[in-house]
Amino acid sequence: MRKLLYLLPLSLLFFVTACGDDDVQAEETAEVNLNFKATYDGDDFYTENIYKLFEGVDDTDIKFSTFDFFIGNVSLIKNVGEEFEETELLEIDFVSLSFDPGQAAQAEAGVTIQGRKVPAGTYDGIKIGFGVPADLNRTSPSEYGSGDVLSKTSHYWSGWDSYIFAKLEGLADHNGNGVFETSGVEEGFTYHMGTDETFTERTIFQTITLEVDEERTVNLNLDVRKLFRMTLSEYDQDDNDLLDVEDFPGTHTDAELQINKTMMNNFSDAVSLQE
């Protein structure tokens, strides 16, 4: 009997170790984080910092108060023959890059988002969606507990039955008097983007080799100035393919829906992979 008692824990131990081994072999993983930072026409981006709207083209002073966006369906991609195999890093998350100069340390560090563990190995690139993927965009904030990224009442617009995928807000000193005004002269702009058709995907091709147990951070930058690109002649400024911020300071009227779409689309051009 005594011997048997010894045997039991031993065999159990064996059993456990055996299982453990198995697990590890099946999942030689690496961890991938995404880091987001922003620039404005190449300069570090801060909210409440004054920039030239379109330097050299339109030197109006502009400052931002909010820049944030959802990212969805982010995955690593692998070229397998004719097709791409996707390995999902995350389904949905929210990135706010609204850091003012008083939060310089945070702006410098950027926003890091933890992705899922993925099998180690070599990938051919990364695919990022900007916005809330359609399946999740059928839901709304009241369905989520607070703390959940999709519980943000600030980022849902029932007029569209959609999350607000991104916000870019600020003030531009259109009359050039050195004061950012909201009273009498309208200098505020509030671009809110969203609806399923504006969900924007961008695939960036670059070989990413992940060693087993490695923790890798993929650094991404968004150049906010690029969001203002506007090729629709009704909304552009003097045929220079830039949005006329003074005449179209929002995305709320039906006419301005085109601006919403274009700006969301522009995320694919604004994002770049950093070394």
Partner 1 sequence: MRQWIIFFLLVTTLAAVGCGGDDDVQEVTDNDLTDIPYDPKTYEIIVPCDYPEMPIPADNPMTIDGFELGRHLFYDPILSADSTQSCSSCHLPSGSFTDNLPVSVGIDGIAGRRSSMSLLNIGYVTQDLFWDGRSATLEEQALLPVEDPIELHHSWPAVVEQLRRHESYPEMFRKAFGISNTNEITKELAAKALAQFERALVSSGQSRYDRWRCETGFLLTESEINGLLLYTNEDDDHPGCTHCHSREAQLFSDFTIKNNGLDSVGPTVEDLNNFIDKGLGEVTNNVFDNGKFRVPSLNNIAMTAPYMHDGRFNTLEEVIDHYSSGGKTSFNIDPNVHSFNLTTEEKEDLIEFLHTLTDTEFMNNPAFQNPFEE
- Kindly list the residues in this chain that would bind partner 1 in the complex (CB under 8 A): 47-48, 65, 100-103, 140-147, 151-154, 156, 158-159, 169-171, 178-184, 186, 188-190, 249-250, 252-253
Q: Which of 68, 66, 252, 53 is CA-nearest to residue 170?
A: 66
Q: Of the two residues 33 and 151, which places its CB atom closer to partner 1 in the complex?
A: 151
Amino acid at 275: E
Which two structure tokens, joined as six digits, stand for 103?
A: 């939060």
DSSP state of 229: B
**Closest CA relative to residue 27, chosen from 105, 120, 111:** 120
Q: Which residues of 195-220 are buried (b: 16+ CB within 10 A; e: fewer)?
A: bbebbbebebeeebebeeeeebebeb
Strands 215-223 and 121-130 turn out to be unpaired
75: β partners: 88, 127
Residue located via tokens 């993929």: 218
Minimum Å distance from CB 107 to partner 1? 12
The CB-of-6 to partner 1 minimum distance in angstroms stands at 40
- Which CB atom, from 35 or from 65, has the smaller least distance to partner 1? 65
- Cα–Cα distance for residue pair 95/63, rounded to 1 Å: 19
3-state secondary structure (DSSP) of residue 25: helix
CA–CA separation, 274 and 34 (whole Å): 11
DSSP 148: B
